[in-house]
Structure 1
Amino acid sequence: MQLLAYILIYPILWLVSILPFRLLYLVSDGLYLLLYYLIGYRKKVVYNNLKLVFPEKSETELKKIQKKFYKHLCDMFLEMAKTMTISEKELKKRFKILNPEEFQRLESLNKSVILIFGHYASWEWSIVIQNYVNFKGLAVYKRLANRYFDKLVKDIRSKFNTDLISTKETIHTINDMEAKGIKSVTGFLSDQSPRLTKDVYWGTFMGIDVPCFTGAERLAKKLDLTTVYLKVNKVKRGYYEAEVITLTENPNDYKDYELTDMFLREVEKQIYQAPEYYFWTHKRWKHTR
């Protein structure tokens, strides 16, 4: 069944990937109408999330943000498919690193780097970062249930020589590389909701107490890794800019969970500025207290 689903869907994704960008976004406009007005994909989840974190906004304002978000969501989904065939030159034009010299400075410290970012603007096209660094690029991801699509995602995201590793492989992989003297830049998407356990850290995100992922911070402290936030903004349709913001070069100078809170504050600032570019379909606030 997994193979059948892959055989049926892969050709569609490939055809989308070879479309010129102008045509790609025409398809995205049609997908938006289908997804928002006919299917209504997770509309209730999105609206409830927006209402929860923006209680001061009117229903009209919330609906406006919701529609903008769905347009962005469709763009991002098709951009992900486009990554299958996009050239390095084209991707670097559409996903610009504003201060690549910061990567060079961090590498001069001869310490591996933890790169934290959120589900904001475009995280898929951040794979181009490997072209700006000399350290080995790693990206932590959650395996897909369908092993054929899991391989496809790994192939797409490792297109520019970044290796994808599962959450269970992370500590072992980085420890092994450090023992061999191989320095790395490891990307973590750390703003979503973890499993609820008795020892989970409860932080504040968008004014609400929620459980938070702390794996990036714990790894940074365990191995004394420089910790960086990747601030990605959407400039216009199909174009993004990313800024490298160093949170600390010495993570053990901070109290437990302080770096996690610093990361969340950075994501919040972006959401308040342009909320339509956050990943509202995820049930980020399903656990609250």
Structure 2
Amino acid sequence: MKKLSTRLLLFILTAISKLSWKSLYRLSDFFRFLIFDIAHYRRNVILDNLHNSFPDQDEETIKSIAKKYYRNFTDIIFETIKLRSISKTDLLRRIEFDTSFLDHYYEQKKNIVVVAGHLGNWEMLNLFASAKLSYQIVVVYHELANNTFEDWFKKVRTQFGTEMVPMKDAFVKALTPRDKPFIYILINDQSPVPEKAYWTRFLNQETGVFRGVELIARRLNAPVLYMGTLRDEWKRGFYKFYFELITESPKDEPNNRILESQINFLEKDILKQPDNWLWSHRRWKHNRPENLQPSQLLEENKK
């Protein structure tokens, strides 16, 4: 019975993916009304995160950001469903990106480690990168518990050639040889185990950060780039993304400097478009441990 209901839901999602963008956003608006105005989905989590991140903002501003976020959240859900049936032409016209930043790395046959946050529609950016760039795109992700859902979404994510790597295999797969240079992408703004995390200040709060990005980058000694995403303020479903260089020599960087740079870039993007980040995630559910190991702190600049 459970398998039948799952297949029925996926049939409905596939049908929705074939709707026009106009109809899709009408559904998004209706869904936003249901889950946020009626069901109040994670409303307290969202408002607490916003209050703690922007302590100097008044209540009216906080509620305004939250309202915009609600629409952004449901838009991303339906845009992601749409990706099941999107054409390459339609996808490419929705993303603004200058590829020249990466051209010289590809010409040198250099692999790249990219670190990003949950800004905009990251699923759409994954597909765009595979459709547009010469690189092999490799994305680290969390597998879904339901195998049928996992298979459906994996087809969406890999339709233009992306290689998906489960989080548990992230380190091993980073060292796997490939036929052409690859970009190894990690979304790094989730909530890690506090005893293993790097700890820093982020959005006015003590925040733990996964250290896997830095460990992988040092092992590969590949250039590390931050990927930022900005949503078009006037056209729904259109995005701009860009790269910022963090380092070309990870092994030469002080301990956790890569992570600190990423967090600083991410914070700047959130301040530009505060409703464009994933505020419904329980990002700060762990407290900073009283005693931290040297590996969990920012090392002073190397002489």
Q: Deviations over 1:16-47 (max 9, x none)?
A: 10110111111111111111111111111100
Q: How does 1:10-21 map onto structure 2 within 5 Å?
A: 10-21=10-21
Counterpart amino acid of residue 85 in structure 1: S
**1:28, 1:71 within 8 Å by CA — same for their partners in 2?**
yes
**2:136, 2:183 within 8 Å by CA — same for their partners in 1?**
yes
TM-score (norm 2): 0.90
- 3-state DSSP class of the match of 1:110? coil
Q: In 2, Cα distance between the equivalents of 1:229 and 1:5? A: 40
**2:92, 2:132 within 8 Å by CA — same for their partners in 1?**
no
Counterpart amino acid of residue 111 in structure 2: S
**2:224, 2:247 within 8 Å by CA — same for their partners in 1?**
yes
Of the three residues 183, 186, 203, the one matched with 1:185 is 183
Q: How does 1:219-238 map onto structure 2 within 5 Å?
A: 219-235=216-232, 236-238=235-237
Pair 1:280 & 2:284 matched: no
- 3-state DSSP class of the match of 2:208? strand
The alpha carbon displacement at 1:206 in A equals 0.9
Counterpart of 2:244 in structure 1 is 245
Counterpart of 1:33 in structure 2 is 33
Paired residues, number: 285
Structure 1: segments with no counterpart, 5+ residues: none
Q: How does 1:1-289 map onto structure 2 within 5 Å?
A: 3-97=3-97, 99-126=98-125, 127-177=127-177, 182-196=180-194, 198-235=195-232, 236-289=235-288
Task: Considering Cα pairs closer than 8 Å and 6+ residues apart, tell me whether 1 or 2 has the greater RCO.
Answer: 1
Q: In 1, Cα distance between the equivalents of 2:52 and 2:2? A: 37
Counterpart amino acid of residue 279 in structure 1: L
Q: In 2, Cα distance between the equivalents of 1:86 and 1:111? A: 31
Q: Which moved more, 1:275-284 or 1:221-230?
A: 221-230
Kindly report the root-mean-square deviation, in angstroms, between the aligned alpha carbons of the 2 structures.
1.4
The alpha carbon displacement at 1:182 in A equals 4.3
**2:113, 2:224 within 8 Å by CA — same for their partners in 1?**
yes
The alpha carbon displacement at 1:8 in A equals 2.6
The alpha carbon displacement at 1:181 in A equals 6.3
**1:95, 1:241 within 8 Å by CA — same for their partners in 2?**
yes
Q: Deviations over 1:207-262 (max 9, x none)?
A: 21111112111101111111111111001311101112222211122111111111
Q: In 2, Cα distance between the equivalents of 1:182 and 1:269? A: 33
**1:208, 1:288 within 8 Å by CA — same for their partners in 2?**
no
Q: In 1, Cα distance between the equivalents of 2:96 and 2:152? A: 25
Question: Identity of aligned pairs, percent?
Answer: 28
Q: In 1, Cα distance between the equivalents of 2:4 and 2:231? A: 36
Q: In 1, Cα distance between the equivalents of 2:198 and 2:186? A: 17
Runs of 4+ in 1 over 4 A off after TM superposition: none
Structure 2: segments with no counterpart, 5+ residues: 289-303
Q: In 1, Cα distance between the equivalents of 2:277 and 2:197? A: 24
